[in-house]
Amino acid sequence: MAKIQTKSEIMAAIAAAAGITKKQAVTAYDELLKIAYAGAKSPKGIVLPGLGKLIKVNRKARLGRNPATGETIKIAAKKVVKFRVAKAAKDAVLA
């Protein structure tokens, strides 16, 4: 299995590809995250072109089952973050 890249490795790759310093790459990445988090809070979510859509969804209350005991339990309603992968990303990864 391939080794997962660390944040510093990703920032070094971005800096090299863009011809900027690592510090500038980190700043740009952090700003992108801030924009994505703020956009995900909005009712329509945020689209990251070529990557996907980040959206906040209200999940309804439901009944579940405790796998250890088999007992039926109530799972409360809650808000969750969903990421829907863009077709371009699927095509690039699965091709």
Sequential DSSP letters for 12-75? HHHHHHHT--HHHHHHHHHHHHHHHHHHHHSTT-EEETTTEEEEEEEEPPEEEE-TTT--EEEE
Q: What is the model's pLDDT at position 17?
A: 96
Tally of domains in the chain: 2
Which residue range forms the structural domain that includes residue 24?
Answer: 1-41
**Domain match, 48 and 76 both:** yes
- pTM of the model as a whole: 0.76
**Domain match, 53 and 92 both:** yes
**Domain match, 53 and 78 both:** yes
Amino acid type, 4: I
Question: Residue 2 above 80 pLDDT?
Answer: no
pLDDT interval class at 73 (50, 70, 90): very high
Q: What is the model's pLDDT at position 95?
A: 87
**Domain match, 60 and 88 both:** yes
Q: What is the model's pLDDT at position 54?
A: 95
